Chain A
């Protein structure tokens, strides 16, 4: 097995908030991503998924744990040493309108990473910028415009062009299609799939939308209150989800086809505050199959027959599968 591009162990991020309290955004997360692999990270609000993306790229400092990128421990590297590494680890943000400097031309925005990291002459940079624009299906007539003149889908293509400009080994995508209209999303996802094929870059695809994640991921990690509650091959996770939260999440997704029958588990209550984490299994306050032990014992990681790893005390007795109710 080849060395993973990214190896994260025991990652924690706690934000201090007013005196003694902390927002426990990320709690002991372990992740691996291999070259050419796409790991989809799914979660709702409070899951910590966006925070993890930022901490991995050292845009935010980890409280505990280790981050290994390309075999190098970058957890405590000084900022000046992290900067040159950014050639190989890039990010695509959620909101393309605010992620681009409104006063710069598209051409300069795409060329910026090249200028910062690659010793190319001006004309070589010019050519590479045009190649990148073509690569992301952006007409070169847009290169001399400013972001205000482009649509959301086009802007996101610019962001993707920026992210792949230096041929990075790892690309973190934080909800790249969530701000875009439905009709535009598919195009962006197609583009990302193509790029993945060509560049063999490892991708961390963060999203709250299961439909999107399913289309692009090889493996999926499901997050709840800063913990990975289930992780495994995409198909297996979608066909036979092991963790009760994964099951509820999957069932809450509404397919855009009225003929598909929806069987749902509607979870009661809302996500607890990350400042006051529930004891034991963090999901127990909303779990339809929780038992007494769940409120005091933190579940360890178990492997289920279909291959995923999940953290639930009821896996051994089979009680982790919620009975489905059909809803019209």
Chain B
């Protein structure tokens, strides 16, 4: 059939476009500048995290005791901190923690929140009420206090921080997925799936999940930003991450002490890095929501 043939030709032409990625990027830029800029920022930090061992001029935990609290110079671009460690290298290395905490935390949130949202939205009734009230309760608690309490009870470790953050943020995903499921569960294709004889678990995971997950996906970047921010705050409060680990929150904590005495570089640079990464994640998350909403799709 000529339609099939012409479609095949189109497919081939698509695959052979060498500048496809560049064009995709420009396309995203036109449709949502926020997403494009956010993406660039995230990629920048991701590259820092990946190539840290090769870019860092110094070992991030090497203490040069003869150069404690030196102002930024040619040798140490961001100066040195209270232990004589190179701030620049530490800031670069800190990017690893940003991603290393955010990604597992968001994954855990998804793993908990999405199935709960699916089941609560589909079943409704008492189960829905109970689950949602519980999750509402989680959200009402100030996360920092709760995180402090949990980590204090279970012990200081990175793993605990990640688990706590993952649990605390799952209500958001549960809510978003539940809302989509509520809208979808009376749609025709779900009814058609029931009429075909699908058992409930297939309805949830084969039919509803792929269609309901869009909203959750758009939220991941924003929630990752939250995870980065909270983990830095926890580290700032002395929870979870121990010195001399080059994590931005811990570095800011140290830097806060020295801010008053005039050594501004110890806290400023990790602070800026933190701000930018969180900013980039939020921008991207925002722009992603723009992109996902088909109504806003057409560029002029």
Q: How far is the CA of A159 from the CA of B193 in the complex (A)?
A: 11
Categorize the interface residue count of chain B: 10 to 19
Find the B residue at minimum CB distance from A54: B191
- Could you tell me which residues of chain A, from 221 to 250, have a CB within 8 Å of some CB in chain B? none
Which of B188, B189, B211 has the largest number of chain A CB atoms within 10 A? B189
Partner of B197, one of A86, A99, A104, A159: A86
Contacts of A83 in B (CB 8 A): 197, 199
Q: Are B196 and A112 in contact (CB under 8 A)?
A: yes
| A139 in contact with B1 (CB, 8 Å) | yes
Task: Name A97's closest neighbour in chain B (CB-CB).
Answer: B188
B188 touches A99 (CB 8 A): yes
CB of A113 within 8 A of CB of B187, answer no
Judge if A10 is at the interface, Cβ distance under 8 Å: no
Chain A residues at the B interface, C-beta cutoff of 8 Å: 57, 59, 83-84, 86-87, 90-91, 93, 95, 98-104, 112-113, 116-117, 139, 141, 159, 162
B199→A99 contact, CB < 8 A: no
**Are B196 and A101 touching (Cβ within 8 A)?**
no
Contact A87 B4 (CB under 8 A): no
Q: Are B188 and A162 in contact (CB under 8 A)?
A: no
Q: How far is the CA of A68 from the CA of B197 in the complex (A)?
A: 19
B192 located at the interface, meaning its Cβ lies under 8 Å from any Cβ of chain A in the complex: yes
| Whole-angstrom CA separation of A100 from B192 in the bound complex | 7
Q: Is the CB of B4 within 8 A of A141?
A: yes
Cα separation A100 to B187 with both chains bound (whole Å): 10
CB atoms of A98 and B211 under 8 A apart: no
**Interface: B194 (CB within 8 A):** yes
CB closest residue in chain A, given B4: A141
In the complex where A102-B211, A139-B4 touch, is A86 in contact with B196 (Cβ < 8 A)? yes
Considering the chains assembled together, what is the distance between the CA atoms of A98 and B189 in angstroms?
6
Look across to chain A and name the residue whose beta carbon is closest to the beta carbon of B189.
A101
Query: Do A86 and B210 touch (CB < 8 A)?
Result: no
How far does the Cβ of B120 sit from chain A's closest Cβ, in whole Å?
A: 19
Q: Enumerate chain B residues within 8 angstroms of A103, measured Cβ to Cβ.
A: 210-211
When C-beta atoms are compared, the residue in chain B nearest to A149 turns out to be B7
The 10 closest A-B pairs by CB, nearest first: A86-B197, A98-B188, A141-B4, A103-B210, A99-B192, A91-B195, A99-B188, A116-B197, A101-B189, A113-B196
Asked, given contacts A95-B188, A141-B1, whether A101 binds B193 with beta carbons under 8 Å apart, the answer is yes
B187 touches A162 (CB 8 A): no
- List residues 63-105 of chain B with CB under 8 A from any CB of chain A: none
Does chain A have a CB within 8 A of B30?
A: no
Which residues of chain B in 165-211 are interfacial with respect to chain A, using CB atoms and an 8 Å cutoff? Answer: 187-189, 191-199, 202, 206-207, 210-211
